[in-house]
Amino acid sequence: MADSAHTQSPFPSSPVMPTLYDGDKTIQFSCHKGIGCWNACCANIDITLTPYDVLRLKTRLGISSSDFLRQYTVPFELEKDGIAGVKFKPVEDGTACQFMRPEGCSVYEDRPTACRYYPVALIAMRKQDEYTDRSSYALVKEPHCKGHEVDRPLTIDAYRKEQGVAEYDEQSRGWRQLILKKMSSGPTIGKPSLRSRQLYFMACYDVDLFREFVRSEGFQNSFDLDDATNQRLMEDDLELMQFGFRFLKQVLFGEVSIAAREDAVRAREQRLRELQEMQIKRRPYDPADEVLEFI
């Protein structure tokens, strides 16, 4: 199956931009048991996962996000020399999805965004001077997929509704914005440090590890979270994931939405002054240092 929900383009290696459609474009498609190509798409996978995909699947399987990432995913470079994404790890010595069964998908109700969208591809774009991203769609036509030959016309909007992607898109909006922001900022941000990339990976994909990070004394001493917020973050994966996106915007791009403790700010300023006075500059200042030192 092609990766149909890539954050920028589903055809990163192709110089040809696919035809873009709005949601009211009518397509013709049906995928159903009994079709000649049943499971063909799941037998040869290349599927990028969103943070919400990881959260849904690890919850369904009843395992921690760390265990899920280890067992079912492989990291890859979402953009060259930049932040990482995760893809499904296929079965050992093969190309099929680990969740594929003869009767179909064994995690159907929690299948990832890319599986829901297929054969439509979401193309999220952001103009340099705009904060919000806008969505267009492309149609992926692979020779093995017979679904295009079935006479069932419907609009892309109707297909998205049928496949239940609205919730997935909404929950991953903050993550897509982070990636688009990083991509459009280009050399002004440059290659993020190893620490920034580790922080990004943890906050986006490893929600259970991120919870321990937020619970840590260092984090709590640095940021001013009230008891109710803390309790929600400790109990609710979705709240924590959304908080993680905000946190990353703050740490990586300076968009402050989480108040820092005044004493922590003063201590940090003092530390920076001391460093400057002593001229200890073994490497450039990295904002991720301040938060990662607490792990």
SS3 breakdown of the chain: % helix, strand, coil, rounded to 5? 45, 15, 40
**Among 83, 115, 140, 204, contact with ligand SF4 (rule: CB under 6 A):** 115
Dist. CA 187–CA 80, nearest whole Å: 12
Q: Which is nearer to ligand SF4, 40 or 260 (CB)?
A: 40
Task: Give CA–CA dist 86/75, Å, rounded.
Answer: 4
Q: Is 124 in the site for ligand SF4 (CB under 6 A)?
A: no
Q: How many CA atoms within 13 Å lie on the side-chain side of 152?
A: 11
Interaction between residue 264 and ligand SF4 (CB under 6 A) = no
Provide the minimum distance between the beta carbon of 139 and ligand SF4 in the complex, in angstroms, as a whole number: 12
Q: Least separation, in Å, of the C-beta of 206 and ligand SF4?
A: 20
Question: Does 41 interact with ligand SF4 (rule: CB under 6 A)?
Answer: yes
Told to check if 85 binds ligand SF4 by CB under 6 A, we report no
What is the closest distance, in whole angstroms, from the C-beta atom of residue 89 to ligand SF4 in the complex?
Answer: 11
**Closer of 73 and 171 to ligand SF4 (Cβ):** 73
Q: Per rule CB under 6 A, is residue 1 in the interface with ligand SF4?
A: yes
**Shortest separation between residue 47's beta carbon and ligand SF4, angstroms:** 6
Judged by CB under 6 A, which of 61, 107, 209, 260 binds ligand SF4? 107
Q: Which helix (H) or strand (E) holds 151?
A: none
Under the criterion CB under 6 A, does residue 35 sit at the interface with ligand SF4?
Answer: yes
Adjacent-strand bridge partners of 63: none
- φ/ψ bin of 279: left (φ > 0), alpha (ψ from -120 to 50), beta (otherwise): left
In angstroms, the Cα distances linking 197 to 108, 189, 213 are 31, 13, 15
Given a contact cutoff of 8 angstroms between Cβ atoms, the answer to whether 26 and 155 are in contact is yes
> Which residues from 43-72 bind ligand SF4, rule CB under 6 A?
45, 47
Least distance CB 114 / ligand SF4 (angstroms): 7
Cβ 154 to ligand SF4 shortest distance, Å = 15
280 vs 172: CA distance, rounded Å: 40
What are the counts of helices (DSSP H) followed by strands (DSSP E) for the chain?
13, 9
* Upper half-sphere CA count for residue 182 (Cβ side, 13 Å): 27
For ligand SF4, the closer of residues 35 and 260 by Cβ is 35
Q: Taking CB under 6 A as the rule, does residue 97 contact ligand SF4?
A: yes
Amino acid (1-letter code) at residue 100: M
Regarding 165 and contact with ligand SF4 (CB under 6 A), the answer is no
Residue 146 binds to ligand SF4 (criterion: CB under 6 A): yes
What's the length of the chain?
295
C-alpha to C-alpha distance for 182 and 254, rounded to whole angstroms: 12
The DSSP line for 49-84 is: EPHHHHHHHHHHHT--HHHHHHHHEEEEESSTTS-E
Check binding of 27 to ligand SF4 (CB under 6 A).
no
By the rule CB under 6 A, 197 interacts with ligand SF4: no
Q: Which stretch binds ligand SF4 (CB under 6 A): 7-15, 141-149, 164-172, 262-270?
A: 141-149
Interface with ligand SF4 by CB under 6 A: which range of 71-79, 105-113, 170-178, 185-193? Answer: 105-113
Binding site for ligand SF4 (CB under 6 A): 1, 31, 35, 37-42, 45, 47, 97, 99-100, 105, 107, 111-112, 115, 118, 144-147
